[in-house]
Chains A and B, each alone.
Chain A
Amino acid sequence: MTEALLDLNNVTVRRGMKTVLSNLDLQVSSGQVILFNGTNGEGKSTIIETAAGLIPLESGSVLHHGKLLIDEAGRSNKPSRPFGLTLQADGCMGSQRIEEHLLTSMDFTGSRIEMDSILERYNLKHRKHDTIAQLSGGQRRKVAMIAGLLPGFISSDPLLIFLDEPDSGLDQASRTSLIEDVQYLRQKGHGILIASHNNEFEQCATHQFNAEGMTEIPRESTPEIVRDHAPHQPSKAMIALRNGIVYNNRTMATLAFNGIAGLLTLGILLALVEPTKLDSGTIQRSGLILSSAFAAGLVGDSMVQMLHEHRSLAWWKAHRQGIPSSYLHGAVLGFALTLLTQLAMDMPVSWEVTIIGSFLTISTMFIVRMLDLTSSRLARPRAAFTRILTPILILPFALLVQWITDSNLI
């Protein structure tokens, strides 16, 4: 017997106050396509997200390729092999270009293939360089769906592919292409889970799963689909860091949010305080120099806010290969703000303090980001008031200022 690609053992999952899955056992082997076609609220999306390791378990465990992914004790491991994932809410943010999202999906597998032929099949090739925000809802859905399929196109080893309502909003031609692609991926030996109400998927599914349980779909042998083997290219490393830099460069989000907060703080301080009247070596002077860098960090990581769009954060979290951040831009901003403060106050520049300002911004940003990520599982994460907890950062800031003053760095 072949090893199961996916193993859901005695899985119980609660969402809200409802137990959505109760002691569910499900195994998916190579070459199986399981279609979840139950009624609304039956838990189709919950099964997909549980299988992708996105939802904590009340009981049981989820294994990918025989290795533990998550379990009831809260253990969570990086998947032993990459997988394809299409979330119901797309999982891609508006500031990304189409090709960037698809390249990221490929980079998770460790290699890339030429994507033009796939985009052409879904009439998206001419949109390749557009940002996702410029697309219609249906086109965005196609991008999300292709991102879920791509790991399967690349890998010759059997992988898992999770598709939650992949056909939602797609035209007939795209649905036909999708069914053909799923058949092709099945023939390659991948294990595929599809949640959909569309009965057309019975053409490519091997099993269907609903409240009555799992039943095999009888089928005659289908002709083998032959595709040209596109040459593989190596993927690029540091996926999350690289994407964070790209999105930040495009949106200038760190400058717009953190930078403005820092500049406003500097402006207010300059309006209220006469710098020449502050004695050197006083705590007030040290505090003034670092205030704008600290205020910039307190805004948090703008990337986390952006990633809430279309549940992009969940898509990144599921792959467990890092989450894009703004640390590099934060470090540059902290350095620039501390330097600017010293110049604006007509003080001799202390490079040590300028570098400390840079670290202050990213360390503050890191803590606020952690608070934001901790509350990201809530139904309304943006209404969680995590900023109420940021005053704790004033204590280390005050101790740092005291240390700088005592050390005569200024």
Chain B
Amino acid sequence: MSKRGAEGFLLLGFLGIGLTLGLALLKAPSVSINAFQSPDAQRIFYWHVPAAWAAFIAFGFLFVGSAMWFFKRSKLGWRMHVAGAEAGLATGLMTVWSGMVWGAAEWGVPWDWTDVRLNTFGLLTFLALFLVLGRQSQPDGVETRDTFSTFGLYGFVLVPVTYVATRLWQIRHPGPVVGGGDGGSLAGEMAVILVIGAISFTIFIIGHILMSMRITSLEQRLERIQKTMDKV
């Protein structure tokens, strides 16, 4: 892939996300006022769900990268870990923030500390924040990589817990719209806009990860050059 591939994916992703927003606000059908407290706020759904989808891709990337570093000492694995954490933080915050706005309108409260889905997803985002800030505060080395990879591996346990949380302990958050059985299916225009959103966010997250991996690679190259210059 050319060096500008990441920028291409990011640009395409942004355009798709913009299109999704436009369709969500202008074209998506209105929902029943009987089913929702705040029907207009439901349009946030077209941003919220694809962002969560992209976040799970990023957390999956983080897990694979953590495992590759921890068990194989793979440099590519470490770059995947870093990229997964950064992309997970970005999309996790998008999901949490949009969810809080929607929750405030629909439930009357932006957050519910007793809802397992909200809290496990929130923790995944905090984990990504911890990994991003933590890495920046530590000198690069095997100790840093081992420790943060350990957190990355354990943190991934939360992904399946988050997914099944609404089935096992549904309190406020609705069930899954993908693979959620009879009660969770969408139809017509709603599904089309949601698919456009999911594809756009997927393209965006691929671009984000590629960009992040390239930056980490450049950082490592810079460090090698600096160490060579130290010896002169």
A residues in contact (CB < 8 Å) with B: 14-17, 56, 58, 374-375, 377-380, 383-386, 388-389, 391-392, 394-395, 397-399, 402
Contact = CB atoms under 8 A, between A and B. Distances in A.
Nearest to B137: A383
Contacts of A375: 134, 147
B130 A385 contact: yes
Given A16-B142, A391-B119, A394-B119, 9 more contacts: A14-B141, A17-B223, A58-B142, A374-B147, A377-B143, A378-B144, A383-B134, A389-B123, A394-B113
Given A16-B143, A388-B133, A402 B126 contact: no
A388 B137 contact: no
Contact of A378 (B73, B120, B143): B143
B146 A377 contact: yes
B160 interface: no
Given A386-B130, A389-B130, A391-B123, A398 B113 contact: yes
Contacts of B144: 378-379
16 contacts: A16-B140, A16-B143, A17-B140, A58-B142, A378-B147, A380-B137, A385-B130, A385-B137, A386-B130, A391-B119, A391-B123, A392-B126, A395-B116, A395-B119, A395-B120, A402-B114
A388 B130 contact: yes
Nearest to B126: A388
B143 A392 contact: no
B78 to A, nearest CB: 11
Interface residues of B, number: 28
B70 to A, nearest CB: 9
A379 B141 contact: yes
Contacts of A15: 141-143
Nearest to A402: B114
Contacts, number: 79
The residue in B127, B130, B146 that gathers the most chain A C-beta atoms within 10 A of its C-beta is B130
B143 A379 contact: yes
Contact of A399 (B114, B122, B123, B133): B114
Given A374-B147, A398-B113, A398-B114, A379 B138 contact: yes
Contact of A392 (B119, B139, B223): B119
B38 interface: no
Nearest to B123: A392
A384 B116 CA distance: 26
A16 B141 CA distance: 4
Contacts of A56: 146
B139 A16 contact: yes
B163 interface: no
A377 B151 CA distance: 13
Nearest to B114: A398
Contacts of B126: 388-389, 391-392
A380 B129 contact: no
Contacts of B216: none
Given A377-B146, A385-B133, A17 B141 contact: yes
Contacts of B227: 17
B33 to A, nearest CB: 30
